[in-house]
Amino acid sequence: MSGQKYRLGVDVGGTHTDLVILNVATGELMVEKVSSTPKNPALGVLNGVTRFIARGIKPEEIEFFAHGTTITTNALLEMRGAKVGLLITQGYRAIQEVQAQARDGNLFDYFYAKPTPIAPQSLTFEIPERSDYTGAVITPLDLEAVRKAARALKAAGVESIAVSYLFSFMNPGHEEETRRIIQEEAPGISVSISSEVLPRLREWPRMSTTLLNAYLEPVLVRYITHLNQGLDEVGVTTQQRFLMQSNGGVMPFQAAISGGKTVHTLFSGPAAGAQASAYLAEGDADRGLVTLDMGGTSADIAFIEGGVPLEVTEGVIARRQIDVPALDMTTISAGGGSIAAIDGAGFLTVGPQSAGADPGPACYGRGGTRPAVTDADVVCGYLNPDYFLGGSQKLDVEASRQALKTHIADPLKMDVLEAAAGIRRIVDMRMADEVRVFAAKRGVDLSSFTLLPFGGAGAVHAAAVAEELNMRRILVPPRPGAFSALGLLCTDVVHDYIRSELSPLDEITADHAEVIFAALEDKARLEVAAEGLDIKDARFSRELDMRYTGQGYELRTPLDGLFARKLDAASLEAARARFDERHAQIHGHAAKERPVEVVSYRLRLRVAVPKYQQTSQQAPQSPRASEAAIKGKRQIYFDAARHHECLVYERDGLDVGVSVTGPCVIEQFDATTIVPPDWSARVDQFRNLVLEKGSI
């Protein structure tokens, strides 16, 4: 293998850490799955890397390392972030307490309480300073007040400081000077300034996003520092080390821990799978895809239309406002490790608690005694207890039965099979309902869409979910269990920039808009150069956030195709027409007679990096399942009262073009695909499994 070059993608999940390595010269993929290490996720990553090294890959030949992680997401969900202080404009101390008028959950809950502030009032300092809405300084920055605040916060033991001054997105000077002073008075403390994290209007979303960045940046810095050291120690020398972002692109490790970009990693894990779906499922992505990433702790759902994942620029995670570009995804607690229980009313429930990687479901034999979805799958016959992870991990069927009997079947006076089938039914219905609601909110007609399942449990449950949604087509990728890790080898380096400036569109000149975009491009070029990337490979795309005068929300309006080298008056007129079209498409109407305002200017920088290229294979004249593909038969219970004697196939033994009819089971190292009665499966030219309702 000497002289080879490899590209490595790693996805850390709640139960398993998936690694995919690509031989650049041959296109060969190798997959490893190792148990996640929740106390220090970097250890699981390094365990997987050392397995590849043991298989003969020289660490110095790994030229690219891309990583998707839930480290910041988990830290926020579990409230394990840094101790944070906050500096704000004098007179605006209550913003974090008041937040916004919107409230989540039950509107009639008399005991409703807003989330606990990230920076308590005792660690919040008002600083005399003020700029107006144009950026003009009204009150100069009180430098001594900043110094006193920095010393007090240092004495209080804060690890990170957020700075959010009024209208700093128009004039960042006061925030930048504040950061300089803090770094002098309290070196080593992280500083997040709102003019860098989110330079756009709306005070609370900007402050909330900045606070989240301050809360999570030390967590991410510690993690990446540990991971970097571990990679160095095992001999991985490449400096091309990237982290997945919420927007579906990657950024260098260094960018993730500086410049206020930590918040861009909050949806890092799920985004890779959606990106892989859009990139690899070309024809289906154009027609429309629903992705279902079902792992150990959760199921992530996304929509892909016109070959690209849907995006949002505003969101909420763990009841916290975060306004950064992200793929439009929803997550529910429906994974293989989701624990089944009986609630106070005597009803069977599944989740949100998860058995995770340690101890895991009862069948893992690691001390877990409570039944999880994987235990139900084992008892119903969906999973081969002797072939989990290709046989590297044996599953204890009797432990699953005992857990189901003790915690579910006996208390509800039913047999174990009924309990297992009920758990499966609940989790399948929950995923289907979430897809249905998600589709309704976005005006998506599911009847023409394809369901693309991945993750360790996705293909096991996909057909049942599709049945509930009346979807007739399922596409299972060649390595579904490691699909998100593969997605890290299918994306570019992406950075997003924004600048708010509220003005009527008819008062904006093309030259003025060009100046703002040029400033954003200059900033992007400097960052790309600092990250060691070649600016010649960069591509820019521009957008305007626009709204009708009087509206409280705006729409992103792409400017692609509306100008050549520079914007002109015709470009802005065309942007207005495009905005009207988008408004009509999304909201069902357009007010073409109303004046339009530009709220923000957006720039996206994309630097292409070499990506995995799937190859098409020609089907033989008589495609068939080889002798080695048929592994035997297994009894599958599609519900407690209905079972079938199903053929079991080894997926790698199925020729391109071969078709099999359900009910049957198709097994592979990293996943299992269930083909129910009345469904068929075909291997396409990219070795995807195409499941369709009825005969093919």
Q: What is the DSSP string of 313-362?
A: S-EEETTEEE-S-EE-EEEES-STTEEEEE-TTS-EEEEEEE-TTTT-SG
pLDDT, position 625: 65
pLDDT, position 1: 39
338, β-bridge pairs: 354
CATH numeric code, 6-76+221-265: 3.30.420.40
pTM here? Answer: 0.84
Token pair 């069902």 in the structure block, residue: 588
- The total of other beta-carbon atoms located within 10 Å of residue 61's CB is 18
- Can you list the residues of the chain whose pLDDT is less than 50? 1-2
Q: How is residue 184 written in tokens? A: 């002098």
Burial of residue 92 (CB within 10 Å: 0-12, 13-18, 19+) is middle
Residue 649 falls in which region: left (phi positive, over 0), alpha (psi -120 to 50) or beta: beta
Residue closest to 316 by CA, chosen among 48, 633, 77: 77
pLDDT, position 3: 60
User: Nearest 10 degrees: CA dihedral of 642, 648, 651, 657?
Assistant: -80
The CA distances from residue 206 to 96, 136, 309, 498, 684, in Å, are 11, 20, 25, 12, 47
pLDDT, position 536: 81
Q: What is the mean pLDDT of the chain?
A: 89
pLDDT, position 510: 94
pLDDT, position 626: 65
Contact 24, 612 (CB under 8 A): no
Structure letter (DSSP) for residue 390? G
Residue closest to 245 by CA, chosen among 274, 286, 223, 225: 274
Q: How is residue 383 written in tokens? A: 């999973």
Separation of CA 666 from chain center:
28
User: What is the helix (H) or strand (E) element at residue 215, kind and residue range?
Assistant: helix 203-234
CATH numeric code, 493-607: 3.30.1490
Token pair 């990250």 in the structure block, residue: 531
Burial of residue 635 (CB within 10 Å: 0-12, 13-18, 19+) is exposed
